[in-house]
Amino acid sequence: MGRVLLIIAAVVAALLLLGPLVGFVFTLLKWALVIAAVLFGVAFLSKMLKRT
């Protein structure tokens, strides 16, 4: 009985820690995509301005 409760407590603790961790990973991914889009836009504009 004690072992089952310990396993349940470990699963609940892991889920509580996993939520903010997944949110942090998605936040990093979002910022990486924003930075990549800005860099792509700057590169595209610089190529367009060099042609003229």
pTM of this structure: 0.61
List pLDDT tens digits, range 4-33: 999 999 999 999 999 999 999 999 999 999
pLDDT average, residue stretch 22-47: 96
pLDDT average, residue stretch 20-47: 95
Residue 25: CB atoms within 10 Å: 10
| Backbone CA torsion sign across 17, 18, 24, 25 | positive
Q: What angle do CA 48, 40, 45 make, to 5 degrees?
A: 20
